Structure 1
């Protein structure tokens, strides 16, 4: 996706998160303390300042976007803003308010297996309005059409106050519960698109670790 290309829905606009835009970097630092879906908890992050955000987005651009053609997207709420209204003329423009991000991260390996993880973060004041589902559905349709990307997984941390909401979100997208696992020292539930093989999201070369066998929940 080029910097000028945007994905739009009825209420939202998705565009590339840009390391070269100071406003994007500052917003990322603010957003990083927000609940991630479907992870079910705020992420532990080293991104606390605008400079941290710039470095993170630069790395995302150099690897994810350049290598795969997708990466971290800025979610903006679209609002009409009318500049002039007369009896014969009504001119206006759109305003974009940053409300979240949507990430597709592909964990590549030296072999043919690649695992693509999805998560989304929405500012608390904009949650429970369907924005996360609306943005994610639009992006999944786009990456399927453009890249044939259909196999994705997500990780939902267990035993938090947000676990059930996270599971419900993933189910809306058509993800299925594949099993229980441990990742980054957290116990959680693997959710994946239909037909995704276990060896893809459990490949030993990815940053996913499993204690013992994956316990089936289907």
Structure 2
């Protein structure tokens, strides 16, 4: 693992309405926001209870998990912040969600990262998940050389499925994925990726 590179606190992937930035270990407001976001009813229903119910636990998670992903892949979980006006800086913007491009550690990992997102319930339905996901994927392809991307959601999660389709991923069927404990999941992938998903380590 390289220690020469570190996530900059001023880094941002700007989109029309959003800033996409790295989580920082020493930012208590970000830890507090993560607790708020991951303990909403919507998040727990779709993703389960993370157990991160205090800022201290969230800060430890950012340090021990999120930062580790950054150092290994230069991507992982990113903070999504809403601009108050089109030219607003990252510092002026307000956190509303998380967008992620995750790739696990071998041997229990797929060979391609997967895109994910969660937005505060009061900000959902406004296209922010689609905008953040598109912005992150464009950056990952252009700057990090990411060529293959997967997407997963519950087989009956129509809202998440629409986002995956809007950002250009193609439905590849429903599977009971072992990495998710056999949960019945819808699988999406870039259209140019192999039709045989076993190539990427995906099997039932």
Give the TM-score of the pair, scaled to structure 2: 0.82
Determine helix, strand or coil for the equivalent of 2:92: strand
Which residue of structure 2 lines up, in the alignment, with residue 102 of structure 1?
99
**Is 2:55 the counterpart of 1:58?**
no
Which residue of structure 2 lines up, in the alignment, with residue 127 of structure 1?
124
State the 1:194 CA deviation. 1.9
For 1:126 and 1:171, the matched residues in 2 are separated by 20
Q: Is the 8 A contact 1:60 1:71 kept in 2?
A: no
Pair 1:189–1:18, CA change in 2 (3 A)? same
State the 1:175 CA deviation. 0.7
Which residue of structure 2 lines up, in the alignment, with residue 188 of structure 1?
185
Q: Is the 8 A contact 1:72 1:101 kept in 2?
A: yes
Q: Is the 8 A contact 2:170 2:191 kept in 1?
A: yes
**Is 2:23 the counterpart of 1:17?**
yes
In structure 2, stretches of 5+ residues that fail to align are: 1-6
Which residue of structure 2 lines up, in the alignment, with residue 158 of structure 1?
155
Which residue of structure 2 lines up, in the alignment, with residue 69 of structure 1?
74
Which residue of structure 1 lines up, in the alignment, with residue 162 of structure 2?
168
Pair 1:33–1:195, CA change in 2 (3 A)? farther
In structure 1, stretches of 5+ residues that fail to align are: 81-91, 204-209, 211-218
Q: Deviation per CA, 1:104-142, whole angstroms, max 9, x where unpaired?
A: 111132599623121101001111111111111111110
**Is 2:39 the counterpart of 1:41?**
no
Q: Deviation per CA, 1:44-85, whole angstroms, max 9, x where unpaired?
A: 3121111121121112344210111111111111114xxxxx
Determine helix, strand or coil for the equivalent of 1:128: coil
Q: Is the 8 A contact 2:104 2:110 kept in 1?
A: no
Determine helix, strand or coil for the equivalent of 1:145: helix
Determine helix, strand or coil for the equivalent of 1:166: helix
Q: RMSD between aligned alpha carbons? A: 2.5
Which residue of structure 1 lines up, in the alignment, with residue 114 of structure 2?
117
Q: Is the 8 A contact 1:33 1:42 kept in 2?
A: no
Determine helix, strand or coil for the equivalent of 1:115: coil
Is the radius of gyration larger for structure 1 or structure 2? 1
* Worse-superposed segment, 132-141 or 183-192: 183-192
Higher RCO, 1 or 2 (CA under 8 Å, sep at least 6)?
1
Q: Is the 8 A contact 1:106 1:117 kept in 2?
A: yes
State the 1:174 CA deviation. 0.8
For 1:17 and 1:112, the matched residues in 2 are separated by 23
Q: Is the 8 A contact 2:81 2:97 kept in 1?
A: yes
Pair 1:126–1:21, CA change in 2 (3 A)? same
